[in-house]
Amino acid sequence: MSKENRHLIFDLSIGKTKPESIVNKETSCPFCDVENLEGIFEKRGSIIYLQNKYPTLYNTDQRLIIESDICDSDLSQYPKGHATELITFGIEKWLELKRRGDFASVLFYKNHGPLSGGTIAHPHMQIVGLKEVRYEENIRQDMFEGLLIHKIEEVEFNLSTHPKMGFIEFNILSGNKHSFGEMTEYIQRAIDFILNHFPFNCRSYNLFFYETDESIIAKVIPRFVASPLYIGYTIPQVPHELEPMIEMIKTVFPELK
């Protein structure tokens, strides 16, 4: 495969001007300043879908979903109704762009915290249409397989046995492509566990979405400094046993027993 199809080109001149409010708390938040937001496609309550003002990636269409009007909140803290509305809205907009057919692939993901790769602290998600890169070529089905934590009807919550990067990854697979209440609850619990109950202090995570013929899949990954074995050799690591982590999760969330 040619190099052009595997790499995204990042515009350093735009990247340089992008505001940063995760580390630098003095930066005034552009997403709180709703009156001056530009390129809004749609609003649903406090959820705002808009064009990314800093399109750093060549040959892409970069869009954002501002999750709510509360700057220092997080997806794991939203009332169930708002969280489900947000995930449903996000999936709807992501699939809408994907079904348009003018992109090689469309990404839907979110960053949270200093090690997540994000720059703005105000909770938001990203939808990015890629004109040339097909991310699906980097994805294998076993990245979504895992030890079952809990299951409700068509929705499965598991702990990766073959994580993409390592070493802890949560997968939520929904066979229902239209209703995302259960999926949202599992996503919220995975994030709550990572930020507040994890055996290692963790302030950062990513949430990624994927679509297969059968399912919509969410992957929640706690972020630490990345392992050199992954960076240099693409070798993911997995804990020698996963059961104790599952026991911890069920202790924190007895309703999952």
CB of 50 to Zn ion, least distance (A): 14
Maximum distance among all alpha carbons in the chain? 51
Cβ-based nearer residue to Zn ion, 71 or 148 = 71
Of 112, 122, 189, 223, which lies in the binding site for Zn ion, with binding defined by CB under 5 A? 122
Segment interacting with Zn ion (CB under 5 A) among 5-13, 43-51, 117-125, 176-184: 117-125
Nearer to Zn ion, 46 or 161 (CB): 46
DSSP line for 145-195? -EEEEEEETTEEEEEESS-SSBS--EEEEES-SS--HHHHHHHHHHHHHHH
What is the C-alpha separation between 20 and 27, in angstroms, rounded? Answer: 7
Tokens matching residue 65: 């979903």
Dist CA 87 CA 67 (whole Å) = 9
Residue 32 beta carbon to Zn ion: minimum distance, rounded to whole angstroms = 3
Give yes or no for residue 180 binding Zn ion (CB under 5 A).
no
Stretch that binds Zn ion, among 47-55, 69-77, 161-169, 182-190 (CB under 5 A): 69-77
Q: Does 29 bind Zn ion (CB under 5 A)?
A: yes
32 binds Zn ion (CB under 5 A): yes
Beta bridge partners of 109: 126, 208
Tokens in use for 100? 């348009």
Q: Which of 22, 31, 67, 146 binds Zn ion (CB under 5 A)?
A: 31
CB of 71 to Zn ion, least distance (A): 3
CB 94 within 8 A of CB 108: yes
Q: Which residues bind Zn ion (CB under 5 A)?
A: 29, 31-32, 71, 122
